[in-house]
């Protein structure tokens, strides 16, 4: 419908026609948009809380409902969530481009509710219970694919605010080249296409590496500290929990300060700097010196990484200290040959590395997402955000598998050296495409960078 100023107004929850792009935003529209954004933020927060609660119960629950389930199957159960999300994200993203966003959101949330109900009752069937759990977790992940819709809406809404502010600060809306009424043919063509696909692909790779790094770091923290410092399971859970909580507080501080910093030096510089900080963090984590970890000689069950399956490394995160009142032997297990010739990672090294990674990861995370949404510009972003979410899901699948295999077989020196190599290649990639990582409006000369 026509607005008070005679301009066409964009409905906030549907894909738009560039020829009907709104120039002016009413006060009611502004309030409605931010109300929707806050609701979506709350939705993502509650989804994350639910994930954290359920993930801690999967292993004991799986053992209880099906005695035939082993650690290898546990790996598939865990991976099924990310696989489901990876498949669903592009689907829901495409859906939101052509239909009101509330449709994929309602459907995805309904799938999540149904899947969690199935998860709660997987103990009821007389047999094949582990497969019901596998399906349930996969469906929960499929429902979680709505994060692509949420991200595209938030990106589009905040982009709308930036464009509205820019137009308000220039006469006749010349900053974006818009005039009252429908856009010209050239403007429609610019809005409908001409996205820098190289920048899009590069940003997806960068986002994959960011989540890959964090997934493997939080996976390896517990086994690493138990092997290096001979911590018991109870000590590892307590101390590592404190460390990760401190990193969470650190990330909140980074998130609050990064917006101001980005206005001074730009998103690209922060992204590149964040990767450099992460590289330094993993470089510090490399074993140095002549001190070696305590060897666990007893041929008893230990809670480091018993074998090379993905499921086994995850088990250590669910095992309760109360399951075994005698903690048993501690130290680096004799089954890991590298324990005899690889120097230990000193606690000061580990803590320094954790602090640096805690600085670099949130910086890279928020900047890559911000740049990605700006690169896409006013074009409906559902599908593109779906691919971004899918790349993150793939990273959360491959990260733990990679680090568990390499760490168990070759030790921390090889594991973290390879991580340093991956980060360095990403830094080189950023250097190559640095000039292409610019906002859509800047690339097409709509506003100055």
Q: Are 446 and 170 in contact (CB under 8 A)?
A: no
Residue 322, pLDDT above cutoff 70: no
62-66, 202-206, 246-250, 261-265: range with lowest mean pLDDT: 62-66
What digits encode the pLDDT tens for the residues 409-426? Answer: 888 999 999 999 999 999
The pLDDT assigned to 357 comes to 93
More confident residue, 173 or 103: 103
Burial class (CB in 10 A: 0-12, 13-18, 19+), 404: buried
Average of per-residue pLDDT values in the chain: 76
Name the residue among 40, 41, 148, 140 with its Cα closest to residue 89. 148
Looking at the predicted structure, is the pLDDT value of residue 163 above 60? no
Better-predicted residue by pLDDT, 43 or 344:
344
> Per-residue pLDDT for 204 more than 70?
yes
User: Which of residues 220 and 18 earns the better pLDDT score?
Assistant: 220
Q: How much of the chain, in percent, has pLDDT values that exceed 90? A: 22
Q: Looking at residues 268-272, what average pLDDT do you find?
A: 92
Residue 257 CB-density burial (10 A; 0-12 exposed, 13-18 middle, 19+ buried): exposed
Q: Look up tokens 């990064």; give the residue.
A: 258
Q: How far apart are CA 136 and CA 192, in angstroms?
A: 39
Give the Å distances, CA to CA, from 166 to 160, 161, 175, 189, 446.
10, 8, 7, 21, 10
Least confident of 61-65, 181-185, 254-258, 306-310: 181-185
Work out the average pLDDT over 192-214. Answer: 87
pLDDT for 352: 94
319 vs 283 pLDDT, higher one: 283
Residue burial 339-375, b: 16+ Cβ < 10 Å; e: rest: beebbbbeeebbeebbbbbbbbbbbbbbbbbbbbbbb
Whether the per-residue pLDDT at 193 is higher than 60: the answer is no
Residue 178 above 60 pLDDT? no
Lowest mean pLDDT among 76-90, 195-209, 273-287: 76-90
Q: Residue length, the chain?
A: 449
pLDDT attached to residue 287: 92
227-228-230-236 Cα dihedral, nearest 10 degrees? -80
**80-89, 125-134, 274-283 — which is least confidently predicted?**
80-89
- pLDDT at residue 8 tops 80: no
pLDDT of residue 115: 92
pTM: 0.66
pLDDT for res 349? 93
Residue 173 has pLDDT above 70, yes or no: no
The pLDDT value recorded for residue 360 is 93
pLDDT value, residue 83: 86
- The helix-helix angle for 147-168 and 382-410 (nearest 10°) equals 120
Higher pLDDT, 355 or 126: 355
The 10s digit of each residue's pLDDT in 59-83 is 678 878 888 876 557 767 877 888 8
Q: What is the mean pLDDT of residues 139-164?
A: 72
Interior CA angle at 330 toward 329 and 331, to 5°? 135
Query: Average pLDDT, stretch 266-275?
Result: 92
């Amino acid at each position: 419908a026509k607005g008070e100023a005679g301009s066409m107004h964009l409905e906030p929850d549907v894909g738009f026609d560039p020829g009907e792009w709104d120039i002016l935003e009413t006060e009611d529209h502004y309030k409605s948009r931010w109300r929707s954004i806050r609701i979506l933020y709350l939705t993502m927060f509650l989804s994350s809380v639910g994930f954290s609660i359920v993930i801690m119960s999967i292993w004991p629950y799986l053992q209880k409902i099906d005695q035939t389930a082993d650690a290898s199957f546990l790996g598939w159960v865990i991976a099924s969530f990310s696989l489901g999300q990876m498949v669903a994200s592009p689907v829901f993203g495409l859906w939101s481009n052509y239909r009101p966003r509330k449709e994929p959101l309602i459907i995805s949330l309904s799938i999540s509710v149904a899947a969690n109900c199935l998860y709660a009752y997987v103990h009821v069937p007389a047999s094949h219970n582990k497969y019901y759990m596998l399906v349930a977790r996969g469906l929960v992940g499929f429902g979680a694919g709505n994060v692509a819709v949420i991200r595209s809406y938030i990106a589009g809404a905040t982009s709308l605010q930036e464009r509205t502010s820019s137009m308000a600060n220039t006469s006749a809306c010349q900053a974006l080249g818009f005039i009252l009424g429908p856009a010209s043919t050239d403007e429609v063509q610019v809005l409908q296409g001409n996205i820098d696909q190289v920048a899009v692909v590069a940003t997806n790779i960068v986002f994959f590496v960011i989540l890959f790094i964090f997934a493997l770091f939080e996976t390896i923290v517990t086994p690493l500290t138990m092997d290096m410092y001979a911590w018991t399971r109870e000590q590892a859970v307590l101390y590592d929990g404190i460390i990760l909580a401190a990193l969470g507080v650190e990330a909140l501080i980074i998130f609050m300060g990064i917006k101001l910093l980005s206005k001074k030096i730009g998103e690209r510089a922060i992204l590149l700097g964040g990767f450099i900080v992460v590289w330094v963090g993993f470089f510090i984590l490399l074993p140095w010196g002549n001190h070696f970890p305590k060897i666990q000689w007893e041929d008893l069950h230990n809670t480091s990484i018993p074998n090379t399956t993905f499921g086994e490394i995850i088990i250590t995160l669910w095992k309760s200290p109360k399951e075994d009142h005698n903690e048993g032997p501690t130290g680096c297990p004799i089954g890991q040959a590298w324990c005899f010739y690889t120097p230990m990672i000193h606690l000061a090294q580990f803590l320094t590395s954790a602090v640096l990674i805690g600085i670099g990861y949130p910086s890279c995370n928020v900047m890559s997402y911000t740049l990605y949404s700006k690169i896409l510009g006013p074009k409906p972003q559902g599908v593109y955000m779906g691919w971004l979410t899918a790349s993150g899901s793939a990273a959360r699948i491959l990260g733990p598998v990679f680090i568990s295999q390499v760490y168990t077989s070759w030790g921390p020196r090889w594991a973290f050296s390879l991580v340093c190599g991956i980060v360095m290649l990403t830094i080189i990639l950023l250097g190559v495409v640095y000039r292409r990582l610019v906002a859509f409006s800047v690339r097409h000369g709509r506003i100055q960078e």
